[in-house]
């Protein structure tokens, strides 16, 4: 408490000079000194500074959104004001209001104001997590399965917003997944399906180096095809696999059903030219993701570039095409070669 008073007097002194007394307010550190501590405020009111401090909202200050806070907080028991998203995100608000979905969910249903992230620093799984609160996955697999083959696979590999909004700049994001650890032995459990690897797991595996060093071995902040291949071929990494998702870099809030997503060619039939931009996204301690660019075209590599990512019609490998062509050509040797001789010797068989 002593520290708190100290901060308060400092803050007050500053505000005396700048503004009328009534708007003088606690600074973020004071708020967090109580609100980081579940024992003091209760689980429901905890703000984790580790995760909050790196969000775009942290720079605004708690009070910008909780204006009504006074020095009597929390003793006065008064509920605090909460700024509406409309105050600062008018464009998005209006865009969203026009979508049919606005009647079903508010900004707050999909965003925790203390954990906001941009689309390039969040994982595709996180984008879907909020949708899943209201849209039950098994029901979606059933409804989408009526027109979409392998619906469960699609729903796992795509953020819903890649189909249900006009979001743009769709790129391939690769995430590290791993076998969950067995509760008893602590070793990777072979039978269990791969799941998204968290920061702590990967920190252990990278032996206290930067997590990205697991793949970016030369540490230049760029992942070459050679680095990707050697990561995928390394036996030590057999419990780690890269999973690819098609995530948008620019998000729009016109949620709804888009006619052109019925059309499989939106993703599948673009040919190898369209699907070359990819990133590996590594988890950071604050729950966000850091993207490292991957060499162009790495997803088209024959086998070891991205062994678990393949979109039919879009990420085929040219090498494989040539081998296939050679096989087909071999099949023509008999008809063409023999056929020619047969034609030339046709008189012998009269």
Partner 1 sequence: MTTHSSKRVYLQPTPVRIWHWLNALGIVTLGLSGAQIRFPEYINLFGSYKAAIELHNTAGILVALSFTFWFFYYTCIARKMTQLYVPSSDDLRHGLLRQSVYYFFNYFRGKPSPHHPTPDNKFNPLQKSAYLAIMFVLMPLVSLSGILLMNIAPLREIVLLIGGLKILVGIHFLLSCAMFAFLFTHLYLATLGKTPLAYFKPMWNGWEEIDEHESETTLESGHHG
Using CB under 8 A as the binding rule, the residues of this chain from 209 to 228 that contact partner 1 are none
Q: Taking CB under 6 A as the rule, does residue 69 contact ligand HEC? A: yes
Q: Structure tokens of 265?
A: 């060619």
* Contact set for ligand HEC, span 142-171 (CB under 6 A): 143-144, 148-150, 153-155, 157-158, 160-164
Query: What does the block give as tokens for 96?
Result: 């969203």
Residue 318 near partner 1 by CB under 8 A: no
CA distance 112 to 124: 16
d(CA 222, CA 212): 10
Q: In the range 215-244, which residues lie near ligand HEC by CB under 6 A?
A: 244
Query: 142-181 mask for partner 1 (x: CB under 8 A)?
Result: -------xx-xx--x-------------------------
User: Quick one: what does residue 269 bind among ligand HEC, ligand HEM, partner 1, none, with the CB cut-off 5 to 8 Å set by partner type?
Assistant: partner 1
- Applying CB under 6 A, which part among 176-184, 200-208, 232-240, 247-255 lies near ligand HEC? 247-255
Q: Which of 71, 77, 74, 82 is nearest to 25 (CA)?
A: 71
Q: How many other C-beta atoms can be found within 10 angstroms of the C-beta atom of residue 317? A: 17
Q: How many degrees, rounded to 5, is the angle at CA 120 between CA 207 and CA 224?
A: 55
Rounded to the nearest whole angstrom, what is the least distance from the CB of residue 2 to partner 1 in the complex? 57
Per CB under 8 A, 241 contacts partner 1: yes
Q: How far apart are CA 7 and CA 152, in angstroms?
A: 53
Residue 256: name its binding partner from ligand HEC, partner 1, ligand HEM, none (Cβ under 5 to 8 Å by kind): ligand HEC
Region from 128-136, 230-238, 271-279, 294-302 binding ligand HEC, contact rule CB under 6 A: 128-136
Number of residues forming the site for ligand HEC (CB under 6 A): 94
Q: Is 10 in the site for partner 1 (CB under 8 A)?
A: no
CA distance from start to end of the chain? 112
Q: In degrees to the nearest 10, what's the CA dihedral of 269, 275, 280, 281?
A: -70
Report the sign of the C-alpha dihedral through residues 190, 191, 194, 195, in that order.
negative
**Residue 227 carries which DSSP code?**
H
Q: Does 1 bind partner 1 (CB under 8 A)?
A: no
Collapsing DSSP to helix, strand or coil, 21 comes out as helix
67 binds, among ligand HEM, partner 1, ligand HEC, none (CB under 5 to 8 A by kind): none
Residues that bind ligand HEM (CB under 6 A): 312, 316
């Amino acid at each position: 408490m002593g520290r708190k008073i100290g901060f308060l007097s400092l803050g007050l002194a500053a505000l005396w000079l700048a503004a009328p007394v009534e708007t003088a307010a606690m600074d973020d550190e004071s708020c967090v000194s109580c609100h980081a501590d579940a024992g003091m405020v209760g689980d429901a009111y905890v703000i984790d500074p580790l995760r909050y401090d790196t969000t775009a909202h942290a720079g605004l200050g708690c009070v910008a959104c909780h204006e009504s806070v006074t020095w009597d907080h929390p003793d006065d028991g008064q509920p605090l004001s909460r700024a509406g998203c409309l105050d600062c995100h008018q464009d998005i608000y209006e865009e969203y209001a026009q979508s049919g979905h606005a009647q079903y969910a508010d900004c707050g249903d999909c965003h925790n104001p203390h954990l906001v992230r941009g689309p390039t620093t969040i994982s595709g799984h996180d984008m879907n997590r909020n949708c899943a609160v209201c849209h039950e996955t098994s029901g979606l697999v059933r409804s989408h399965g009526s027109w979409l083959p392998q619906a469960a696979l699609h729903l796992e590999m795509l953020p819903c917003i890649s189909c249900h909004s006009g979001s743009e700049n769709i790129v391939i994001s690769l995430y590290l997944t791993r076998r969950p650890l067995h509760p008893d032995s602590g070793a990777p459990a072979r039978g269990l399906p791969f799941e998204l690897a968290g920061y702590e797991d990967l920190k252990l595996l990278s032996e206290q180096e930067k997590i990205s060093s697991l793949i970016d071995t030369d540490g230049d902040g760029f992942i070459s095809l050679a680095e990707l291949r050697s990561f995928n071929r390394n036996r030590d990494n057999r419990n780690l696999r890269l999973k690819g998702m098609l995530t948008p870099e620019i998000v729009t809030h016109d949620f709804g059903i888009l006619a052109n997503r019925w059309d499989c060619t939106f993703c599948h039939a673009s040919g190898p030219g369209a699907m070359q931009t990819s990133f590996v996204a590594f988890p950071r301690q604050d729950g966000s993701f850091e993207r490292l660019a991957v060499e162009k075209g790495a997803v088209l590599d024959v086998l070891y570039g991205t062994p678990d990512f393949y979109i039919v019609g879009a990420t085929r490998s040219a090498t494989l095409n040539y081998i296939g062509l050679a096989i087909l050509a071999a099949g023509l040797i008999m008809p063409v070669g023999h056929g020619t001789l047969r034609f030339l010797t046709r008189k012998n068989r009269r």
